[in-house]
Chain A
Amino acid sequence: MIMSFSLPLVKMQSLHKSYADGAIQVLKGIDIEMKPGERVVVIGPSGGGKSTLLRVMMGLEKIDSGSVTFDGKPYISSGSSESKTVIDMSVRRSIGMVFQHYTLFPHLNVLQNLILAPCKVRGEAKSKAQDRAQTLLERFGLGAKAKAYPAQLSGGQKQRVAIARALMLDPKLMLFDEVTSALDPELVGEVEQVILQLAAQNMPMMIVTHDMWFARNIASRVIFCAGGVVVEDGPPEQVLGSPKEERTKEFIDRVFHINQ
């Protein structure tokens, strides 16, 4: 615990990101420090740069300037010359991400989806990876689906498989980008339960969601992000319950209004 106090898990410094050669500024200086065990929920209006932030963290997008350290180690930095983004691949392997649209490999069955990366990236023995995969699937209530293909699963099942697939690599941080937004309402719960299960095991995570009930239940901290900057940052009771900033208040009022 002393360690965790002194060392942030993630430290983003002055992240800038634009698209179309600088024509579209998406991240305009993001500074976020995340402690181990924290569960950060990022909320904000559409187009505010939430997905971009997670994609940068996953190394899927290059940055214009700024830096990220992970576990005290330099992870992402913009090199001095011409926005060359340097990403430490060994660090990136300790981050897992789940997307809105499942992104399972359609030609592989559930078990094969789960063991592909462990076998090919880490050189894990197939039988060992299969055992771990089966255990994980049972834990998520998918034990009987190991041989099914993604097309034979419901959206909620697919998303749980996607989470299990990311967990196979023992990530130290999980990123969830609106993982329930594409689901039918009655399937949202089963996916959120799985993420809550992970939360109960102290998995550090960064979650983008529009589901305020879920945000309140899972967050240890909420960040309101709009126009490419962090507008408000604090405990869920404060940011969701009694926001200080006018823009946060407006957004929360609107979202709760829609939710009702």
Chain B
Amino acid sequence: MELDFSILSKFQYALLLGLWTTLKLTVICIVLGCALGFAVGLARTSRNIVLRALSSAYVEFFRGTPVLVQLFWIFFCLPLMLGVELSNFTSGVVALTLYMGAITSETFRASLKSIGPEQFDACVALGLPRNVQVVNVVLPQAVLRAIPTLLSNCVSLFKESALVSAVGMADLMFVGQNISNNTARPVEVLSVVALIYFVIAFPLTRAVSVIEARILGKLAI
């Protein structure tokens, strides 16, 4: 077969628009998902049994079901149950934020647990009040320790976001699929789409190991 990549030049703009949607969705869900994940991570290490039970149920449920099912459920079932119309974009944000919250909460939980009890002894011996302990000692250490894994979580989200094409959101994947259907050139189009995903994700995955080495080396935490 003959490959003709020149047909893609016609669809440059559409592809960029799709990429823009993918990136927007990813970034919004990273920010919201990390915030949710930190709160849930705290709840899971909390002494309050109700908080612990609720947060565990949420995390286990979202980790134990396919993201595609979650996405369909939020797109089609949630509006029925709430009785409101949700835009495609809103539904996508809700679904991927809940997914991101579940996986980053595990990251934060592990990093919170890795702060040894002697750090708390030091806080007490220095007379640091509770709020200073959390803000100046626990939070920065938890975040620093979590950064490498969080970056991996972000890369996962970026890739998983392609699933929203299945519910009709015009992201990069969706645009690519449409072009490939219309032009009957799946090899060229889908290869380029894959390449775009890769070009963005690869530096991030590389950054994970570099950042990890720097944090671990400099701070030994």
Interface residues of A (CB under 8 A from B): 55, 58-60, 89, 92-93, 96-97, 99, 101, 103-107, 116-117, 120-121, 149-152, 165-166, 169
Contact = CB atoms under 8 A, between A and B. Distances in A.
Contacts, number: 68
Interface residues of B, number: 21
Given A105-B122, A116-B128, A151-B220, 8 more contacts: A55-B121, A58-B125, A60-B124, A93-B127, A103-B118, A106-B219, A107-B221, A151-B218
13 contacts: A60-B121, A60-B124, A60-B125, A99-B122, A103-B119, A103-B121, A105-B119, A105-B141, A106-B221, A116-B128, A117-B128, A120-B132, A149-B219
Contacts of B128: 116-117, 120-121
A166 B125 CA distance: 8
Contacts of A165: 126
B136 A116 contact: yes
B220 A105 contact: no
A117 B219 contact: no
B126 A117 contact: yes
Contacts of A152: 218
B151 interface: no
| In the complex, the 8 A-B pairs of residues with the closest C-beta atoms, listed nearest first | A151-B220, A103-B122, A117-B126, A97-B125, A106-B221, A120-B132, A103-B118, A93-B127
A213 B217 CA distance: 36
Task: Specify which of B125, B127, B136 lies most central, judged by the most chain A CB atoms within 10 Å of its CB.
Answer: B125
A149 B140 CA distance: 15
A121 B125 contact: no
B140 to A, nearest CB: 5
Nearest to A97: B125
Contacts of A169: 126-127
A116 B133 CA distance: 10
A120 B136 contact: yes
B126 to A, nearest CB: 4
Task: Specify which of A92, A106, A151 lies most central, judged by the most chain B CB atoms within 10 Å of its CB.
Answer: A106
